[in-house]
Structure 1
């Protein structure tokens, strides 16, 4: 059997309410928001392609966030407590391996209690609870559409999608953080490209006929330590427009790489670099 025959069939265009996380991520013919950010500096297409071909295995690093997503949104891997204070015994290691083998997340007793308490804190927050009300929405819905200017397939996986669609559609996106304060999250928006994500999800909603031009993504950010504070964050217009511009560069880069089969790294010629602006301004006054 050829590699082409073995390749998974790409999901159909449109909205899917029952597509698994594995099926969503297995589509290498389409570009996601996180993939678009990986195509841009300080990353590069070569890193993007490598991570597509070598997905990261499950690890403790991502367990808390994924477990909180499951508890808060009601969809995701099974959560299972591995009893006992020590996980370095043969029995515990075998139990953990078995849970991960079937796609679950192993947790200690206090970790399970933590994610339960986080979900309870979300339900006590008036706005977050309203945005994630199970009576008026559903989690983990995937969409695929064709990008007009480039012709490539784009995709999105909404954490939560309201069942009440209008031009003022609000798209909540749940995230966990060590610090959810406004000051910390301004830095996180830049560091993690959440402005790009906001622009991507808003365009997705419009392309999939879920909402109009007034569609907006709101981040629901929750701290991972008691009292599990919640901050609902919108991203301002200019930041989203910058994100939209960066997304367009990433889309055109993806289209070119797909057409040529070339996924470049940092270049084949020397890259001539200057000092960071602050260092140049400091040192030229002293040494020149």
Structure 2
């Protein structure tokens, strides 16, 4: 078995659909998530893994590097676009409505398994009705963000990034792209689209790096540097299904791009060396975070004053 620093490329059945940088339309999501580029490509999801975990985690989760084909397919299925995405954008994985209150019954489980075998997203009737209500409102708000201009759904963008270790492939899939406004929109379903919650999700979900990664990619293939705008559109899952469109300012974008460049350098080095190291092997001596010191001091002072 490969060691922690010896994750190897798996020769699974993979369709190479991209031969050069550009925008690609009507690409099935299965092909996109199976890696359509000639070589493993860096995505925003991969950036988050490289920054927050390790190259070993990245390699394990990348469809063209470390996973066995069967496990790769399961991971792809878990990352399909939601039914709301399909209804609002008219693109994405198809769905199958299951007329049952839950999936505990044998008939419902059988219907779910059948839908999955057919490559569809199984969804309970009650949940589908909620998704319809959310999607109807969301579609109108997408049109508002784009000022009524026409847009294209699920546009795949592939480009190359120069690193100190050589060129790497990069890719993304844009939920909605408006050529007239040069604006990309990405949809995020959430239970809370308030400003405080949205800021936290932008950080925790890596949506700030997504903003700059997608913009840079589109600008690269179109040759229109500095002209592409990006909106992250948060959509609440519960009625009244409020939405909150946001973008990040220049200071935030600069710090997010620093992370993208760091991840690209790590990816480039690992691709060149063929090594995907995990966490440090030697025992680390940890220093306490400031919040822990303050918490312990407050506890001691509280006990001394009793």
From 280, 283, 303, the counterpart of 1:267: 280
Q: TM-score, normalised by structure 1?
A: 0.88
Q: Distance in 2 between matches of 1:133 and 1:157?
A: 22
Unpaired segments ≥5 residues, structure 1? none
Q: Deviations over 1:39-88 (max 9, x none)?
A: 112x111111111224473799878x611111111101112211132422
Cα offset, 1:189, TM superposition:
1.1
Q: Note closer, same or farther for the CA distance 1:121–1:58 as it changes in structure 2 (3 Å cut).
A: farther
Alignment check: 8 A CA contact 1:58 1:100 kept: no
Could you list the runs of 5+ residues in structure 2 that have no partner in the other structure? 1-9, 302-306
Q: What CA distance in whole angstroms lies between the structure 1 residues aligned with 2:77 and 2:19?
A: 33
> Does 2:73 correspond to 1:45?
no
Q: CA deviation at 1:184?
A: 0.5
User: Paired residues, what number?
Assistant: 279
Which residue in the other structure is 1:130 paired with?
A: 144
Pairwise CA RMSD: 2.6
**Cα deviation, residue 281, structure 1:** 3.5
Counterpart among 171, 178, 192 of residue 162 in structure 1? 178
Q: 1:139-163 CA deviation, whole Å, 9 max, x = no partner? A: 0111111113341011111111113
Q: 1:250-274: per-residue Cα shift (whole Å, max 9, x none)?
A: 0011111111111111111122211
Alpha carbons of structure 1 residues 135 and 214: separation in structure 2 relative to 1, 3 Å: closer
Identify the residue that residue 57 of structure 1 maps to in structure 2. Answer: 74
Change (3 A) 1:11 1:123: closer
Separation (CA, whole Å) in 1 of partners of 2:108 and 2:187: 31
Q: Select 1:201's aligned residue among 214, 225, 232.
A: 214
Cα pair 2:33 2:76 within 8 Å, conserved: no
How does the TM-score come out when normalised to structure 2?
A: 0.83
Runs of 4+ in 1 over 4 A off after TM superposition: 3-7, 58-63, 132-135, 284-287
> Relative to structure 1, is the Cα distance of residues 26 and 62 closer, same or farther in structure 2, using a 3 angstrom cutoff?
closer
Task: Note if contact 2:30-2:76 (Cα within 8 Å) is conserved in structure 1.
Answer: no
Q: What displacement does 1:119 show?
A: 1.5
- Map 1:63-142; keep pairs closer than 5 Å: 66-125=82-141, 128-131=142-145, 136-142=150-156
Instruction: After TM superposition, give the deviation of residue 7 of structure 1 in Å.
Output: 4.8
Deviation string, structure 1 residues 112-149 (Cα, Å, up to 9, x no partner): 11111011212443xx3234688611101111111133
